[in-house]
Structure 1
Amino acid sequence: MTDRSVAELAQLLRSRGLTSTELVTACLDRISAVDPVVRAVLAVDDTALAQAGAADRRHATGRSLSPLDGIPVLVKDNIDTAGLAGTAGSRLLAGTPPDRDAEVVARLRAAGAVILGKTNLTEWGNFRSTGSIEGWSAVGGQTRNPHDPEHSPWGSSAGSAAAVAAGMAPLALGTETDGSLVCPAGVCGVAAIKPAPGTLPVAGVVPISTVQDSIGPLAARLEDAALCLAVLTGHPLPAAPAPPESVRVGLWHVKGMAPDAQETAERAAERLRDAGAVVVPVELALPRDMLVDGLDALCAEFPPSLERYLGGRRDAPATLDEIIAANRRDPVELALFGQDLFERCAALTDEDRALAPDRRRRSRQQARDLLAKALADHGVDVLMAATSGPAWRIDDGPDPFTRTSSTLPALAGRPNISVPAGFSGELPVGISLFGPPDLAELLPYALLAERCCGERRTPAVLRDLPLR
C-alpha cells in the first residue's frame, strides 16, 4: 500500500477503494517496524489519524481538496509545524515547538495532506561545522541508509530521503542550500526536485541563506514529487517526457567523483542513447573565485537570516552568538564535531557583510554564465551528471570529502532534479539533471531519464518485513 504512486493512492482515496485512515495507519506501522533501525523520523504527529479521518469525510462527500487530500507527508524538522518539534536537530530549539506553520506547511494542510511527522536532518542544515556528520543531529541521533544501515543517508535532508526510501510515507519535504535534497535522494534511491529559490516560500524555515535556500519534495517516483510541487505552487507541471529523438544531453563527469558513480552515469547515458537521445561529453570547471564568493556570501547571509527566524520563536536563543555560547556549555552538542562555521560567520566584520551582496551577484552570474555556455557550446538541452558517489560507511569520525554535481546549479539559483540511476553493490547512485532556468522546461528531461535509467530495489531494511 505505501509503495503505490501518489496518483494511484489519490484515485483510490477518491473512489473509496482506500481510506486515508488505512493509508496513514500503514505508514505508522511501517515507521514502527523500520524506524528503530533507520532513525529517519524525529517526531510523529499525534493528530495524524484525526487528519486522515477528516480527509475520509471529505472524500465520502465528494469534496476532495486536491490530489494530495488524505496523502501522508513527512516534513523535515527545520520546517515549522505548529506545536510539533521544530528543532533543526538542535537541543537549543527542542523545548518549545513553533507557534505557527511554515507557509509551505499551511499550503499542505490547505490541500488536505496529512502531516504525518517530522524527519531528522543534519543539524542546522549541515551548516554548523566543516567536519559535521551527515544525517546526525543532537536531537534525532544518526539517520541510516535503508539500503545498508551501516552506510550514510547523506544530508541534510537525510530523514526525508531515508523515510521515503523505506516506505514510511509516499512524500516528504526537504530543504537545500547546496546538495541537501539531491544528494540524500541519490544515495537513498529516491527522486528529489530542488526548485529555484523562491519557487516555494521559505517563511517559517530555519534558514542558512534566504537567498539560496530552497524547499522541495522527495518521493519514490519523480512524477509524485512533481505532483506535490504542482499542488504547492498552484502551477501544473508537464508530465509527458520530451520526444526522445529531439533530446540532446550533455554528460558531465565531475572531476574527483567516485569512479563507480561515473560508471553509473555512463550506463545512464547509454540507456538514453538506446532511447534515441543524443548524449555528448561536456567539460566543466568551477572557478575558484566563484566558489569563494559563494561561500563568503553564504557566511554573511547566515546570521541575519537565522536571527530573523529566531525572533519568531519563543524560548529560543536570539542571536548566533548565544547559540555558539550555549553549544559550548553542552557536551552532547559538541561531542562529535565542533561549530567552526558558526564561529566563522559570527566573526565577520561589517566590511565583510557589506561586500556580501556583490559577492552573491558575482558568484550567481558566473554560475549562470557557465551553465549557459555549456548548453550553447555543446548544443545540448540539458546537463546530466552523477549526483554524487555512493554512500560511505558510518564511523566515529568526520565524513569523507565527496564530490557532487550540486554546487553549480545551487550557486546559479537554478532547479536541479535527482533520479535513481543504478547501484554500486547494494548502494544506490543517482543522476542529476539541470541547466534550463525553468523547472517546467527541465522536468520532461528528468522524467525521460528516470524512465530510461531508473533502477530500483527493495531496501535491505524491508526485505524481511511482510509488506502491504
Structure 2
Amino acid sequence: MSRPAVCLAALVTALLAAPASAAAATPPTATYASIAQLQQRMDAGTLDSRQLTRQFLERIRQIDQSGPALHAVLATNPDALQLAAALDTARRSKTRSPLYGIPVLLKDNIDTGDRMLTTAGSLALTDASAPHDAALVERLRKSGALVMGKTNLSEWANYRSSNASSGWSGVGGQTRNPYALDRNPCGSSAGSAAAVAAGLVTVAIGTETDGSIICPASMNGIVGIKPTLGLVSRNGIVPISHNQDTAGPLARNVADAAALLSVIAGSDPRDPATADADKHATDYTRSLDPNGLKGKRIGVVRQLAGAEPNADRVLEQAIATMKAQGAIIVDPVTLPHLSELGAQESTVLQYDFKHDINAYLATRTGLKVHTLADLIAFDQREAAREMHWFGQELFERAEAKGPLTEKAYTDALTKAKQLAGPDGIDAALAKDHLDALLAPSQGPAFVTDPILGDHILSGDPTIGGASQPAAVAGYPSITVSAGWTHGLPIGIVLFGAKWSEPTLISIAYGFEQHSQAWQPPKFLDTVEGTPQLAGSP
C-alpha cells in the first residue's frame, strides 16, 4: 500500500480548530510560527520562502553565531536563498505538501550531496562532501522543503566516549541550551533541538540510537518523535547500529512534527529495514485529534520515574491532565526485564558500530579515513583538537569486536530484541489492554560539564533512561513538553507497539492542546532563582 499524499488542509484545519493549542499560542512572527501559519501567509502573499529563509539566516547570525552564541548550527546552505527563490517561482504550479518552501535543518550526520559537508561533528570527515543526498533528504527536497543547513551534534552521535559532554563536537564546539546557557541541550541531536527551541528554524531532523531525539527534545522543551525502526530510511546517515538507528522529527508542536514525519516516512530499496514502511506510513496529521486522550488506556511505568523530583511532579500534573480529558490511567504498570536491557544493548552496539561505520565510510570518497581503525588513529594524531575534552574508549571497545557472526553478538541481539519487544513493551501493553506507556522523558537540563561529562540521573544505573525500552525494541516513542522548573522545560514520553505512531501522535496532540506547556526561551545565563554564593556581586 502506498503512502497517502500529505494533506495541507488537514493540518491547517487541525491547528485552527483548537485555539488552545501550543502552536496557536505562539507569537504571530516567523520566528515561532507553525508550519500551518507560515503556509497561510505564503498563500496570502504576505510572505514567501526567500523572505522566510532570509529571516532565519539572520536569526542564526544574531542568536547562534553571536549574541547567546548557541553553537547549534554547524553550517548554512550557501545556495539557500537561490533554492528558496526557485521554490517561490514554482509555487503556484505545484501540488504542495505542508513543507513546501519551509526551511529545515538537518543533524550533521545526514548526507547531503551539495556544497555542505557531512561530518558527524568530527574533523576526520571534513575533507570532502558526501556524494549523494540521504534518502530522507531526497524526500524532503521532493516535498519542496528547503534544506537550510546542518546542525551541531554530540560527535559521532555520542558514540565515542562514555564521559562525553552532549552537544560537543570537534567541528562545532559545545551547543548551549537556549533556556539557560550554562545548561546542556542533551544529545546527540543537540543542535537540531536547540535550533528549533530558539526559533532558528521551524522544524529539524534528528537521529536516535537510544535517547538522541527524546532527551534533547525534552531538555529543550519541544516535541521529538523517534519512529519505529524501518519507518524512515537510514540510507545516507552516519550509523551507530542498524538494529536501533532511526531519524525523526523535532518541532515546537505535535502538528509540525507529524507533518514532517509524513514526508520522510516510507520504503526505500536501499534500506531493507523499510520493506514494510509503505504499508504503515500515512499522513500523520490526520491523527491530530484535540480529543485524542478520550478513552485511551495509558500505563504509567513507575520504574522509569523516581530519579528526579521535578520530573516526577511534572509527571503527576500530566497524569491529572490526561484523566481530566478522558484518558484511562493504569498506574503502575510493570515493564518486564527493564534492568536486563543495558548489558545486551551495550554488546550489540559495540559490534554494530564497527561493522556499520566501516560500511558507511566505504560510501564516502575523498576522505583520508576508511575504517574505524583509521578514525582511532586520526583522533590520536589530532588529540589536541579532538580529544581535548574526552577520549575514545567506545571506539576502541568496538574495534576490538569481531564479525557479526560471533555467538556473543547473535545471542545478545536475540535476547535484547526479545526482552525489550515481545517480552517487554508488548507484554505490558497486552496485560492491561493499553494503547501506550508513559514516563518522564528526563529531568531538567543539567549543567554542561566538559570534565566529567553528562549528569543524567537515573534511579538504576542499569536502566538507560525512559528512551531505552523503545530504542532497543525498535518501537516508536514521542516526547512533548509538559512542565517547568526554574525556567527549564521538562517533558513526558509516550511509547507503544511497533507502527503505533498514529496512536501516540493522537495522544500527544490531545495532551498538548490542554497542557499549553510550551514557552519560548529567554536565553538566560543560568537558571531562574539561582542562589548567589558568598562574596558574589
TM-score, normalised relative to structure 2: 0.83
Q: Is the CA contact 2:178–2:198 (under 8 Å) kept in the aligned structure 1?
A: yes
Q: After superposition, what is the alpha-carbon deviation per residue over 1:313-336, rounded to whole angstroms, capped at 9, x for unaligned?
A: 123211111111110111211111
Match of 2:156 in 1: 124
Q: After superposition, what is the alpha-carbon deviation per residue over 1:97-129, rounded to whole angstroms, capped at 9, x for unaligned?
A: 112111111111111111110000000000001
Distance 1:243 1:130 in 2: 39
Question: Are positions 1:186 and 2:228 aligned together?
Answer: no
Match of 1:362 in 2: 415
Match of 1:419 in 2: 480
Match of 2:327 in 1: 277
Shift of 1:276: 2.0
Question: Are positions 1:10 and 2:61 aligned together?
Answer: no
Match of 1:167 in 2: 199
Distance 2:407 2:354 in 1: 13
Give 5+ residue unaligned stretches, structure 1: 464-468
Q: Is the CA contact 2:122–2:171 (under 8 Å) kept in the aligned structure 1?
A: yes
Distance 1:462 1:110 in 2: 39
Q: Is the CA contact 1:419–1:454 (under 8 Å) kept in the aligned structure 2?
A: no
Q: After superposition, what is the alpha-carbon deviation per residue over 1:322-368, rounded to whole angstroms, capped at 9, x for unaligned?
A: 11111011121111111111100111145884442342122111111
Distance 2:313 2:524 in 1: 27
Q: Is the CA contact 1:387–1:406 (under 8 Å) kept in the aligned structure 2?
A: yes
Shift of 1:87: 0.5
Shift of 1:257: 2.2
Question: Are positions 1:42 and 2:74 aligned together?
Answer: yes
Find 1:405's aligned residue among 435, 443, 466.
Answer: 466
Shift of 1:30: 1.1
CA separation of 1:167 and 1:118: change in aligned 2, threshold 3 A: same
Compare 121-130 and 306-315 and name the one that shifted more: 306-315
Give 5+ residue unaligned stretches, structure 2: 1-29, 267-281, 459-464, 526-537
Aligned residues: 462
Compare 436-445 and 126-135 and name the one that shifted more: 436-445
Q: Is the CA contact 2:306–2:312 (under 8 Å) kept in the aligned structure 1?
A: no
Q: Secondary structure at the match of 1:458?
A: coil
Letter of the 2:141 partner, please give it.
R
Q: Is the CA contact 1:58–1:64 (under 8 Å) kept in the aligned structure 2?
A: no
Compare 216-225 and 283-292 and name the one that shifted more: 283-292
Q: How do 1:410-449 residues align onto structure 2 when only pairs under 5 Å count?
A: 410-438=471-499, 439-449=501-511
CA separation of 1:244 and 1:216: change in aligned 2, threshold 3 A: closer
Q: Is the CA contact 1:300–1:353 (under 8 Å) kept in the aligned structure 2?
A: no
Letter of the 1:24 partner, please give it.
T
Q: Is the CA contact 1:294–1:363 (under 8 Å) kept in the aligned structure 2?
A: yes
Distance 2:498 2:362 in 1: 34
Q: How do 1:95-106 residues align onto structure 2 when only pairs under 5 Å count?
A: 95-106=127-138
Distance 1:448 1:12 in 2: 26
Q: Is the CA contact 1:75–1:160 (under 8 Å) kept in the aligned structure 2?
A: yes
Distance 2:300 2:50 in 1: 45
Shift of 1:64: 4.3
Q: How do 1:101-112 residues align onto structure 2 when only pairs under 5 Å count?
A: 101-112=133-144
Match of 1:319 in 2: 371
Distance 2:478 2:181 in 1: 25
Match of 2:431 in 1: 377
Find 1:72's aligned residue among 67, 84, 103.
Answer: 103
Letter of the 1:400 partner, please give it.
H
Shift of 1:175: 0.2
Q: After superposition, what is the alpha-carbon deviation per residue over 1:400-448, rounded to whole angstroms, capped at 9, x for unaligned?
A: 2433200011011100001110111111111110113221232211212
Q: Secondary structure at the match of 1:376?
A: helix
Distance 1:417 1:25 in 2: 31
Match of 1:466 in 2: none
Letter of the 2:312 partner, please give it.
Q
Find 2:318's aligned residue among 259, 268, 280.
Answer: 268
TM-score, normalised relative to structure 1: 0.95
Distance 1:21 1:295 in 2: 46
Question: Are positions 1:134 and 2:166 aligned together?
Answer: yes
Letter of the 2:102 partner, please give it.
I
Q: Percent identity?
A: 40
Match of 1:329 in 2: 381
Letter of the 2:503 partner, please give it.
E
Distance 2:432 2:305 in 1: 19
CA separation of 1:448 and 1:436: change in aligned 2, threshold 3 A: farther
Match of 1:295 in 2: 346
Letter of the 2:334 partner, please give it.
E
Shift of 1:13: 2.1
Question: Are positions 1:338 and 2:370 aligned together?
Answer: no
Q: Is the CA contact 1:268–1:452 (under 8 Å) kept in the aligned structure 2?
A: no
Root-mean-square deviation (CA), in Å?
Answer: 1.8
Distance 2:445 2:93 in 1: 45
Letter of the 2:97 partner, please give it.
S
Q: Secondary structure at the match of 2:450?
A: coil
Question: Are positions 1:236 and 2:297 aligned together?
Answer: no
Compare 142-151 and 98-107 and name the one that shifted more: 98-107
Q: Is the CA contact 1:272–1:453 (under 8 Å) kept in the aligned structure 2?
A: no
Q: Secondary structure at the match of 1:293?
A: helix
Q: Secondary structure at the match of 2:93?
A: coil
Shift of 1:67: 1.6
Shift of 1:272: 1.1
Shift of 1:245: 3.6
Question: Are positions 1:347 and 2:397 aligned together?
Answer: no
